[in-house]
Amino acid sequence: MKNSKQENRQDSKPLSTSKEWKLLYYQHGRPGLEEGKEFKGLCNYCDLKSLCGLPKPKIGVWRCEHYRAKVWKKSGLHENVLKLLEKAQEANNFDRDICKIMAETMNELVVHFPVKMDDDRVRMLTGYRVQHNNVLGPFKGGLRFHPMVDIDEIRALAILMTWKTAIVNIPFGGAKGGIHIDPGEFSPKELERITRRFTFALGNNIGPEYDIPAPDVNTNPQIMAWIHDTYMSTISPNERNRSMHVVTGKPIESGGSVGREKATGQGVVFCIEKWAQDHGFKLKGATYIVQGYGNVGSWVARLMKMNGSKLIAVEDVTGAIKNKEGIDPNDLAQYVKDHGGVVDYPKAQSIDHEVFFNTKADICIPAALENAIRRDTAELLNVKLVAEGANGPTDEGGDEVLQRKKIDVIPDILCNSGGVIVSYFEWLQNKRSEFWELDEVDNKLKKIIVSAYERVRDAAQKYKVDWRTAAQIVALYRLEMVYKERGIFP
């Protein structure tokens, strides 16, 4: 694995301490200023927002070095995930040997690969694929393109995948992968070459019956289509039609499933509906705030609107906005598509990070990155329910505060499992050359996620533990049974 010496156009620059930050303007593929070109000015979107003096660009995102340092800090998620495992082990006295297996990953692949940039320079990039466990079925998990990606983060996310597939009872194991890049720095053509070269570097370490990637942060159906095409181009012609299911989350025309794009958000909403039903809570007129307005966040927001609930605040990487009268989720989704983020959305007021978390609402949906709900942000929260769309959005301190404040939590490995459930449906459809209708996909998803919800709820009551520990217990129970039935080879 590479370290700080890794070749990167900006990594090696020292952080500026003056009030004038060096700004980088990323085009996001739209016409405008030259990509990667440096400017001097003040940052619009970091903590030093009040120092901003420059007119904001009409499109794209300004990011200063201070901001970059903020998003690049280590997530600590791996440590958190191992603590959760320990807590569940103690709560139900699981076999220590099985927990030893669960605490380690099976395979870890780190690849360094060259990619030609549009200006003909070659850049070395680093990618990861970590396969945690495949006792229940082929490794399964998303690919993330983000500057915070490192081996520890990918390990933690791979472990979470094993627990997620175990909770919802689908025949997959857990894996995760990613590339340590900020995709905003690259043109679409460069992103295509990066994706294809990474897929080539992974080689036979992925495969339709062995390890099946899917979209995650900053990856989408287009990127899955490039992975699919590259993988197909590297295997023998008579294998190709049998390998359609090497990746899920593909565009529908390229073998994707209807309902996959919204599936994670849809699963979150099915969980919220079940929680509301259990608590006699009316979703009509209820208010909600969403952090992250990408695939998961924007779909949760749009689907919650169909229940008559009201979106009142949103935060993403570009800033935060609020409107007590309600924000139209569809209109905001279009705005984000056109402008690259929620900042400056004209039908809401711009607010800061603390005001976002302090907004009084019924439900908070974290749907961005890990550790959003820490001790400090949890203290600010003024909601009844946290429904975790993101993976690992709450750290240990955040959990303690949520429990003290008696805020209900639907934990990530249950709440955001809709994505992997519908990925399983896509995988099955590809294997059987079938095409299911949306109703069928949604009904099957609802049945699976609601029964997983009930298993977690019942475990929380039975073992008198919080829902996160209960979810771990449900997952570990299944994994332990399988290990005990099969034994350890040889």
Q: Which residues contact ligand NAD (rule: CB under 6 A)?
A: 71, 215-218, 264, 291-297, 315-317, 341, 367-369, 389-391, 416, 419
Task: Please identify, using beta-carbon distances, which residue of 91 and 127 lies nearer to ligand NAD.
Answer: 127
Helix axes 438-463, 418-432, angle to 10 degrees: 140
Count Cβ atoms below 10 Å from residue 110 Cβ, excluding itself.
15
76 phi/psi in degrees, rounded to 5: 70, 10
* Helix H or strand E segment including 248: none
Burial (CB count within 10 angstroms: exposed 0-12, middle 13-18, buried 19+), residue 122: exposed
CB of 358 to ligand NAD, least distance (A): 15
Task: Please identify, using beta-carbon distances, which residue of 125 and 390 lies nearer to ligand NAD.
Answer: 390
List the strands of the sheet with 385-387, edge to edge.
349-351, 319-322, 310-316, 287-291, 363-366, 385-387, 408-410
CB of 371 to ligand NAD, least distance (A): 10
* Helix H or strand E segment including 363: strand 363-366
CB of 17 to ligand NAD, least distance (A): 22
List the strands of the sheet with 211-215, edge to edge.
107-116, 122-133, 174-179, 139-145, 211-215
Task: Please identify, using beta-carbon distances, which residue of 117 and 413 lies nearer to ligand NAD.
Answer: 413
The amino acid at residue 70 is: K
CB of 342 to ligand NAD, least distance (A): 8
> What are the catalytic residues?
176
CB of 138 to ligand NAD, least distance (A): 17
The verdict on whether omega for the bond into residue 183 sits within 30 degrees of 0, i.e. cis, is no
Task: Please identify, using beta-carbon distances, which residue of 98 and 410 lies nearer to ligand NAD.
Answer: 410
Contact 65, 51 (CB under 8 A): no
CB of 106 to ligand NAD, least distance (A): 21
Contact 328, 298 (CB under 8 A): no
User: Closest-CB residue for ligand NAD?
Assistant: 294
Task: Please identify, using beta-carbon distances, which residue of 94 and 139 lies nearer to ligand NAD.
Answer: 139
The CA–CA distances, whole Å, from 65 to 3, 62, 249 equal 19, 10, 33
Task: Please identify, using beta-carbon distances, which residue of 213 and 341 lies nearer to ligand NAD.
Answer: 341
Task: Please identify, using beta-carbon distances, which residue of 320 and 470 lies nearer to ligand NAD.
Answer: 320
Residue 369 CB-half CA count within 13 A: 20
CB of 390 to ligand NAD, least distance (A): 3
Contact 315, 353 (CB under 8 A): yes
Contact 396, 370 (CB under 8 A): no
What would the two tokens of residue 167 be? 């909770």
Task: Please identify, using beta-carbon distances, which residue of 294 and 329 lies nearer to ligand NAD.
Answer: 294
Secondary structure of 286-350 in HEC code, one letter for each residue: CEEEEECCCHHHHHHHHHHHCCCCEEEEEEECCEEEECCCCCCHHHHHHHHHHHCCCCCCCCCEE
**What is the chain's Cα-based Rg?**
22
CB of 296 to ligand NAD, least distance (A): 4
